[in-house]
């Protein structure tokens, strides 16, 4: 007899539509794995992301239902069309290599296409080698561009 759990998807992805204690706790755990200089996202900040018309927060869950990753998709209209940008992709260290990153990106690409975006951009630090390999494998192409940043914080 076949074990039905053996056929369950290892990772599922859904759009976060409400802020729960579980979501807040997940960000307390995930954000330090993404950025050592950023504080975990607060409940109010998560609520602003979830309620915004310009951002979609996706969460990845493992087979046990626990949150193991997240991705934020920004979708906005500018004079030249609808743009989409993937930001803050993070997968818990204990879940890397199990398909969460790929599932998150696939969900974001599908949603961006549904919103009318013709392209989706993202940036990734060079030292995030596994993430960069994933993006190339999924069809992202590295662009030759200048990225400028102006800091509003002193």
Provide the CATH number for the domain around residue 47. Answer: 3.40.630.30
**Is residue 64 a part of any domain in this protein?**
yes
**Is residue 46 a part of any domain in this protein?**
yes
Which pTM was predicted?
Answer: 0.89
Angle in degrees, CA 62, 16, 125, rounded to 5: 75
**Is residue 144 a part of any domain in this protein?**
no
- List pLDDT tens digits, range 3-54: 544 555 689 999 999 999 999 999 999 999 999 899 989 999 999 999 999 9
**Is residue 119 a part of any domain in this protein?**
yes
Q: Where are the alpha helices (DSSP H) in the chain?
A: 21-34, 43-51, 100-114, 129-137
**Is residue 16 a part of any domain in this protein?**
yes
Q: Which of 78, 128, 102, 96 is nearest to 12 (CA)?
A: 102
**Is residue 116 a part of any domain in this protein?**
yes
**The total number of structural domains that make up the chain:** 1
- List pLDDT tens digits, range 92-148: 999 998 999 999 999 999 999 999 999 999 999 899 999 999 999 999 999 988 888
Provide the residue range defining the domain that includes 69.
4-137
């Amino acid at each position: 007899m076949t074990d039905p759990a053996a056929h369950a998807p290892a990772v599922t992805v859904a759009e976060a539509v409400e802020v729960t204690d579980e979501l807040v706790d997940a960000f307390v755990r995930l954000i330090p794995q993404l950025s050592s200089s950023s504080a975990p996202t607060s409940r109010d900040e998560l609520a602003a992301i979830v309620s915004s018309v310009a951002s979609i927060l996706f969460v990845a869950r493992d087979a046990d239902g626990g949150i193991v990753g997240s991705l934020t998709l920004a979708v906005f209209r500018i004079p030249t069309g609808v743009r989409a940008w993937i930001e803050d992709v993070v997968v818990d260290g204990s879940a890397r290599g199990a398909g969460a990153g790929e599932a998150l990106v696939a969900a974001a690409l599908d949603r961006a296409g549904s919103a009318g975006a013709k392209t989706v951009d993202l940036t990734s630090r060079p030292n995030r080698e596994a993430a960069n390999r994933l993006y190339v494998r999924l069809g992202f192409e590295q662009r030759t561009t200048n990225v400028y940043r102006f800091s509003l914080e002193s």
